[in-house]
């Protein structure tokens, strides 16, 4: 069921051809919107995205509002509306309607809220997830299952579809697997959950800002995600929470707080949840972080995400889908294709042959044996790449990997 993985198309054969690809890249101007050292080829955007140049201006503006406007800035500078204002902007990247996305807290807290809310509608049913899920998602799912006294079922990712059966209350999975880049077909998996009487909670941390999303088109129920990776929101940037409009009246926030109140500044002693996704807000928004994040989201809204996904030569089979802020190269695809045969071969889930560079072993040995080259290898194996990475940079990176592979004995764990 529903496995989406486009074919890799990066096959330039010379330095001149790489330069030509750079010159023809329609997203090349976007690279200059990010602030990175000129000599750095940054490949860790999957962990922390590059900083948009505009973020400095927004942070300066926010600190001025704090210094001069003080408490009046909650109204005069629009601080109070930040969770919904920025949430709606993020929603446009997710394929959501206005008032379906709010910004706040972090992914783990939001996942906790979402799973609890889903179980409150389907009491007694199990939580289903894949055993390759992101670790914090597994920790949260386990805690929620214990709280409700229900079973947590873990299955291999390629068996998730067939495991969606009656008796499951909620399914949760990462849309794009953070290790392999394997992407689930959201519409198919959501429909399977609905057919079984369950809700689906999607983790979009490695999807938003990387691949086109259409939550409403997929009839999605709930989704959460971070903004500091592919969305370039900055370290510790607030996460987001999506709740489909059709569920707003039925779902409750397990951590109610004053910003989730219908009229928070009334300071009502009784809790009355907001009628839309705002009900999943809890505490006061982190305004300085919001300022940097909004700069990044405003930049993203000028970019055609479909172009990002489909632009030639962007390593589209990557462990992490490519983005303007973070292009990536997959060791078992692009590096294999550019550098020649490395590592061992294995069968993919779809039965096709793919090169498999043993990530942990090679990275560890490379750090021991090759000193200054270790950072490049570690970053390459880690995935996300900044927008200022050009095709010629890919050629340089390929050379680094070839050097490592010549000097390091590769073992498969």
Q: What is the CATH number of the domain that holds 366?
A: 3.90.1150
Into how many domains does the chain fold? 2
Tell me: do 148 and 294 sit in the same domain: yes
C-beta separation of 188 from 1 below 8 A: yes
Tell which residue, 199, 204, 197, has the closest CA to residue 220.
199
For 200-230, the pLDDT digits (tens) are 999 999 999 989 999 999 999 999 999 999 9
Tell me: do 100 and 218 sit in the same domain: yes
Q: pLDDT tens digits, the chain, 413 residues: what are they?
A: 655 544 444 455 677 877 788 788 888 888 889 998 877 777 778 889 999 999 999 999 999 999 999 999 999 999 999 999 999 999 999 999 999 999 999 999 999 999 999 999 988 899 999 999 999 999 999 999 999 999 999 999 999 999 999 999 999 999 999 888 899 999 999 999 999 999 999 999 999 998 999 999 999 999 999 999 999 999 999 999 999 999 999 999 999 999 999 999 999 999 999 999 999 999 999 999 999 999 999 999 999 888 877 654 443 333 333 333 333 333 333 332 323 322 222 333 333 333 333 333 333 433 343 444 444 444 444 443 444 456 666 666 666 666 666 554 444 33
Tell me: do 84 and 23 sit in the same domain: no
Last residue of a domain, one of 299, 314, 332: 299
C-beta separation of 256 from 230 below 8 A: no
Please give the Cα distance from 128 to 284 (Å, whole number): 32
Please give the Cα distance from 178 to 239 (Å, whole number): 17
Contacts with 60 (C-beta within 8 Å, 6 or more apart), sequence order: none
Last residue of a domain, one of 237, 271, 299: 299
Tell me: do 347 and 256 sit in the same domain: no
**Rounded percentage of the chain residues whose pLDDT exceeds 70:** 72
For 298-356, the pLDDT digits (tens) are 999 999 888 877 654 443 333 333 333 333 333 333 332 323 322 222 333 333 333 33
Tell me: do 153 and 246 sit in the same domain: yes
Tell me: do 15 and 41 sit in the same domain: yes
Phi/psi for 355 (5° steps) reads -75, 145
Beta strand pairing call for 101-103 and 240-243? antiparallel
Beta strands in 84-208 (DSSP E): 101-103, 126-130, 152-155, 168-174, 183-184, 199-203
CA distances from 139 to 142, 167, 197, 251, 315 (A): 5, 21, 24, 22, 31
Last residue of a domain, one of 299, 322, 353: 299
Please give the Cα distance from 412 to 267 (Å, whole number): 60
Tell me: do 111 and 205 sit in the same domain: yes
Q: Which pTM value belongs to this model?
A: 0.80
For 138-155, the pLDDT digits (tens) are 999 999 999 999 999 999
Note whether residue 412 is domain-resident.
no
Full residue range of the structural domain in which residue 79 is found: 56-299
């Amino acid at each position: 069921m529903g496995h989406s993985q486009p074919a890799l198309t990066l096959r330039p054969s010379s330095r001149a051809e790489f330069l030509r690809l750079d010159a023809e890249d329609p997203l090349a101007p976007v690279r200059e919107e990010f602030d990175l050292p000129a000599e750095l080829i940054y490949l860790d955007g999957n962990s922390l995205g590059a900083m948009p140049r505009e973020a400095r201006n927004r942070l300066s503006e926010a600190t001025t509002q704090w210094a001069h406007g003080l408490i009046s800035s909650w109204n005069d500078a629009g601080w109070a509306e930040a969770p919904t204002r920025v949430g709606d902007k993020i929603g446009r990247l997710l394929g959501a309607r206005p008032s379906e996305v709010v910004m706040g807290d972090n992914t783990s807290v939001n996942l906790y809220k979402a799973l609890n809310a889903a179980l409150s509608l389907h009491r007694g049913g199990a939580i289903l997830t894949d055993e390759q899920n992101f670790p914090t998602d597994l920790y949260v799912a386990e805690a929620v299952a214990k709280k409700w006294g229900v079973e947590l079922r873990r299955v291999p990712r390629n068996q998730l579809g067939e495991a969606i059966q009656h008796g499951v209350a909620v399914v949760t999975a990462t849309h794009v697997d953070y290790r392999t880049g394997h992407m689930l077909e959201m519409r198919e998996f959501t429909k399977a959950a609905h057919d079984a009487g369950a809700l689906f909670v999607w983790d979009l941390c490695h999807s938003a800002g990387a691949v086109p999303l259409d939550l409403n088109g997929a009839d999605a129920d709930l989704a959460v995600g971070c903004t500091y990776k592919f969305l370039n929101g900055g370290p510790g940037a607030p996460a987001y929470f999506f709740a489909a409009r059709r569920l707003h009246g039925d779902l409750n926030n397990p951590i109610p707080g004053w910003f989730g109140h219908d009229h928070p500044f009334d300071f009502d002693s009784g809790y009355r949840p907001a009628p839309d996704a705002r009900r999943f807000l809890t505490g006061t928004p982190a305004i300085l972080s919001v300022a940097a994040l909004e700069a990044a989201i405003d930049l993203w809204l000028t970019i055609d995400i479909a172009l990002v996904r489909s632009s030639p030569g962007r390593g589209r089979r990557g462990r992490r889908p490519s983005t303007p802020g973070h292009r990536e190269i997959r060791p078992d695809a692009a590096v294999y294709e550019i550098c020649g045969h490395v590592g061992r071969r294995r069968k993919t889930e779809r039965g096709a042959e793919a090169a498999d560079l043993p990530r942990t072993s090679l990275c560890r040995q490379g750090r021991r044996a090759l000193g200054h080259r270790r950072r490049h290898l570690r970053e390459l194996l880690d995935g996300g790449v900044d927008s200022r990475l050009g095709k010629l940079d890919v050629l340089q990176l390929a050379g680094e990997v070839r050097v490592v592979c010549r000097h390091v004995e590769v073992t498969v764990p």
